[in-house]
Amino acid sequence: MERFVNFLYKNQALFYKVFLFLLTTFLIVYLYPKGGKFKYEIPKGKPWQYDNLYAPFDFAILKTPEEIAAEKERINEGHIPYYEYQEDVVDSVEKALEVEFLEIFPDTLHRVQRNRLQDFVEDTREDIYDYGLIQEIIPIESGELVYLRKGNEANEITYQNILKQNDLRPFLNRRIDENQLQLFRDELLELFFNSVRPNVTYDEELTLRELESKYNQISYTRGSVERGTIIVSKGEIVEGDKLKILNSLKSEYESQVWSQANYNWVVFGYSLLVFLALLMLLLFIRKYRPDIFQNNIKVTFIFFNLLLMVMLTIGVINFNVNYVYVVPLCILPLTLKGFFDSRLGLFTHVITVVLLGFVVPDSYEYMFLQIIAGIVTILTVSELYKRANLFISVGQITLIYIISYFAFTIIQEGAISEINPEVFLMFLLNGLATLFVQPLIYAYEKIFGLVSDMSLLELSDTNTKLLKELSDKAPGTFHHSLNVANLAEAAANEIGANAMLVRVGALYHDIGKMQNATYFTENQTTSVNSHDELSPKESAQIIIEHVINGIEIAKKRNLPDRVIDFIRTHHGTTTVYYFYKKEQESNENVNPEDFRYPGPIPFSKETAILMMCDSVEAASRSLKEPTAKLIDNFVEKIINKQMEEEQFHNSNITFMEIQQIKKVLKRKLKNIFHLRIEYPE
């Protein structure tokens, strides 16, 4: 049991990766649609390249979206709207007219004349509310039919029969003239305008409900195809009815109800494909990026980003498949390049696009566009921390999308007129969304504890609090670090390493010297040497401790691990040679391990560059009268000694790259020492 527990403990990192791998596979398969996948690409306007295709089952021929839209338009044109007639308003108006009549017409009025006016008011009210009075908001054709609903009954009438409120005055004037009551015109107009109110309103709810009911009666099919019927022959041009039948077969095939057995096989097939795709990614990381493979946080970060893009794309497809190109898939290679490197970013992007090819429509077109856009992303974004570079790259990515879509459309449709301008808008929105990569990278740094070039740019500022403290407490060390940073940056640029990372590592590699600054020669401003009172072994321990002190300070100040790696490895496992030799003068049996740095040795090109530049720059201070030949021999001697001590075995750096670094250091040192002819005094 104990052996088993030890086995689990020793391999916990591997078990975590297996769990992460299986979990990602499960989530992606769970998100996939579980219907069948039509196995043929439908080449619109081109010859059918496959064998003769026969109907595998009975299916209906679907109408095109254009045909459905035309039918709905015809329904809209012939649809009769509903208006509601409100009886209670008529009753209230009748009572209001009675009250107003008594107030406006005095009792002294002749009885015959009074009865005549009352009859006029009653008849006019009935005429007004025969079909009702409406306050017209949206005018419609007067001859158009409408339904006027009174209670539970609805009668079909022409819209012109309903009196409009704007026509009320002309209507009353005409009635007054017909009844020869011009003497009472003002009083009658006042009477009606004080009492009459509209009682007909547009019944939007009932109108829309009826319209929806008619929409539901639309048949989305026209005809059917029986099983065994030949659909298309090999070499036959796919267009017209053939194209509609093929699209109908594809839709039916992908939407039909599957039995439990078929469903299980579909899930199993998807699981195998997703398993293989993710396995390729994991094996790539293990073989070509072993340092990332050993770090569970980094592996989690890569799989999280892949899963996020898959989830986002499938979510958009479920919402509206027409918006699939709005998803900023190029954020994935941008992010991975910002934290790791271009090769890993592109490989992960391709795997993600392959996974999405199972669920997107026009999968070949989609995969071509996204892979080309990913390649352009990797090739164009050289320095993500420069905002101008990001904007230029996003513009180039958007342009590639547009050009590729344009090419595919004219190939498939054979005409420019078929290009959908809305898709161009999708690409523009995609470009705008891609700009979100900068705040996203900042969030990832905080969540996963990673470091990007943007953070390195901030750390390279010599006005940061830690570097100011270094310049105050150990000014000689600070000056040495600046010189090393310049040398290391030039060397990194020469061999294609991460120049920004190595520069930041060089600036902070000696921060541990702040604790005992005067024990390092570059900070000694007087002739008094602090080591004179110490034994060589004690002096060596103080020198060695600046690495440990530097790591502690860096962790307290929350420097990224990638920067701390430079502090940890910049001396590798070399010895403090000066004090080692000094101890040998008085003691022949010296243990070299007492004078050796704890390591580890450099494990990347960048950390190896720093070791070379640090040793060369520090030792160059001992040169009294440097010449070109002396500098050449000096650089060769120091770096060759490091190679003999196997300090670069884990750093993945080649002999050719080391030779290039030597040339850069020689050239830079000659410039620093201003080697030129001496002018006479």
Question: pLDDT per residue over 144-189, tens digit each?
Answer: 888 898 888 888 888 888 888 888 899 999 988 888 888 888 888 8
400/394 Cα distance (integer angstroms) = 10
How far is residue 85 from each of residues 45, 90, 131, 142, measured CA to CA in Å? 56, 9, 8, 18
CA dihedral 362, 365, 367, 370 (to 10 degrees): -120
Question: DSSP alpha helices (H): ranges in 294-436?
Answer: 296-319, 331-339, 342-356, 363-380, 387-413, 421-434
Model confidence band, residue 632 (pLDDT cutoffs 50, 70, 90):
confident
- Least reliable range by pLDDT among 147-156, 374-383, 567-576: 374-383
Model confidence band, residue 299 (pLDDT cutoffs 50, 70, 90):
very high
- Least reliable range by pLDDT among 184-188, 217-221, 423-427, 624-628: 624-628
Model confidence band, residue 676 (pLDDT cutoffs 50, 70, 90):
very low
Q: What number is the average pLDDT over the span 66-90?
A: 88
Model confidence band, residue 221 (pLDDT cutoffs 50, 70, 90):
confident
150/85 Cα distance (integer angstroms) = 5
Residue 675 has pLDDT above 70, yes or no: no
Model confidence band, residue 542 (pLDDT cutoffs 50, 70, 90):
confident
Residue 76 has pLDDT above 70, yes or no: yes
Residue 253 phi/psi, 5° resolution?
-65, -40
- Within 8 A by CB and 6+ apart from 129, the residues are 90, 93, 199
Instruction: Based on DSSP, count helices (H) and strands (E) in the chain, helices before strands.
Output: 28, 10
Residue 227 phi/psi, 5° resolution?
-60, 135
Residue 62 has pLDDT above 90, yes or no: no
Instruction: Please report the pLDDT score of residue 255 as a whole number.
Output: 67
Residue 63 phi/psi, 5° resolution?
-75, 155
Q: Which of 20-24, 49-53, 406-410, 447-451 has the largest mean confidence?
A: 20-24
**SS3 at position 59:** strand
CA dihedral 505, 511, 517, 519 (to 10 degrees): -60
Q: What number is the average pLDDT over the span 39-60?
A: 77
Which residues of the chain does CATH 1.10.3210 include?
454-672
**SS3 at position 478:** helix
According to DSSP, the residues that pair with 134 across neighbouring strands are 164, 200
Taking only the tens place, the pLDDT of each residue in 459-506 is 888 888 999 999 999 999 999 999 999 999 999 999 988 888 999 999
454-672: in CATH 1.10.3210? yes
